[in-house]
Amino acid sequence: MGMDMLRGGGKMVVAANGHNVGPGHFGLIDLGDGVQKFSCHYEADLDRSGRSVLDIRPLLWKDGWPIAGDNFQEGTYEIQSERSGYALELAVDFVRMAGGMRGFGPPSGPVTPVPTQDLAEVSKNWPTGSIDIRIGDYMFRPHQKWTITPVANAGGYPGSPYFKITIAGTERALAATADSEVVAVPAFTGSPEQLWRIDQLTDGTYRIMPKSMPNSREPVALTAVGRSTPTLAKFDPESDKARWSFRRP
């Protein structure tokens, strides 16, 4: 704040969170490649009889000062490339919305809302096997909405579990392939190439990594190639190619 802390300066970094109160004992966890986390203990977790508990959260930086981030929360999202602003999607044929895009000029009848497409309208023509993944202009279509859910008993990494990433309303799951690409397989099986690590970087964007890639021990991250092509490659902390944002549809 530009004021000596002895004179009332300073800004809160982390306070009570949910039913956890009294955070203290900061510990830095620097995982490299632009991923930092911190540990703290809460004096009381009101959901656990007021006992003290450990927490591990992302550490962000703004204007050279630390900010407490939040561990990734399950939900349905648009997954947006920081490089292009375009969204991760199934590579399927475009289906026009019924009644949409009436063009210019005065309305010929009453003005009414146009319903968004639902899954049943578009999925009947999707291939039954694995479907390629691309990056495209986000249009709130079903093939662009991803549900991200923690997977029980699959292990984890500092502060978070592994997640499955599926097209909303389906079991079509994002998976790494042996040739460093990504596809949507017909169903989630819990195999390592279908488990995803989601780390918030110090600038607030995210890195998305498969637990493992078939026939490889090299850690790789979801990476944009140009505007429209995703792949898996070694994470480069100096580039925006492997930085993603999650937006509620």
* Number of other CB atoms surrounding residue 80 within 10 Å: 21
Question: Which residues have CB under 8 Å from 239's CB, separation 6+?
Answer: none
Tokens of 19: 């039913």
Q: Is 230 helix (H, G, I), strand (E, B) or coil?
A: strand
Q: What is the pLDDT of residue 242?
A: 97
205 and 242 housed in the same domain: yes
Mean local confidence (pLDDT), 94-107: 72
Percent of the chain with pLDDT over 70: 98
Mean local confidence (pLDDT), 3-13: 88
128 and 177 housed in the same domain: yes
Q: How far apart are CA 30 and CA 38, in angstroms?
A: 8
Q: What is the pLDDT of residue 108?
A: 74
Domain containing 180 equals 75-94+118-247
56 and 85 housed in the same domain: no
Q: What is the pLDDT of residue 232?
A: 97
Domain count, the chain: 2
Residue spans of beta strands (DSSP E) within the chain? 20-32, 35-45, 51-62, 65-68, 75-81, 87-90, 131-136, 146-150, 156-157, 160-161, 163-167, 173-176, 182-185, 196-200, 206-210, 221-225, 229-233, 244-247
Q: What is the pLDDT of residue 37?
A: 97
Q: What is the pLDDT of residue 100?
A: 58
Residue 234: which CATH number? 2.80.10.50
Q: What is the pLDDT of residue 99?
A: 64
Q: Supply the mean pLDDT for the chain.
A: 93
135 and 58 housed in the same domain: no
pLDDT higher than threshold 80 for residue 48: yes
Asked if 232 and 181 touch (Cβ cutoff 8 Å), the reply is yes
DSSP state of 120: H
Q: Give 187-238 pLDDT, tens digit per residue.
A: 999 999 999 999 999 999 999 999 999 988 899 999 999 889 999 999 999 9
Q: How far apart are CA 72 and CA 201, in angstroms?
A: 12
End of a domain among 52, 68, 84? 68
pLDDT higher than threshold 80 for residue 26: yes
12 and 85 housed in the same domain: no
Q: Is residue 108 part of a domain?
A: no
Q: How far apart are CA 151 and CA 147, in angstroms?
A: 12
pLDDT higher than threshold 80 for residue 174: yes
Q: Is residue 99 part of a domain?
A: no
150 and 237 housed in the same domain: yes
What is the identity of the amino acid at 120?
A: A
Q: Is residue 90 part of a domain?
A: yes
End of a domain among 28, 50, 68? 68
Place of tokens 């039913």: 19
165 and 227 housed in the same domain: yes
Q: What is the pLDDT of residue 189?
A: 97
148 and 53 housed in the same domain: no
Q: How confident is the model at residue 49 (pLDDT cuts 50, 70, 90)?
A: very high
Q: How confident is the model at residue 186 (pLDDT cuts 50, 70, 90)?
A: very high
135 and 215 housed in the same domain: yes
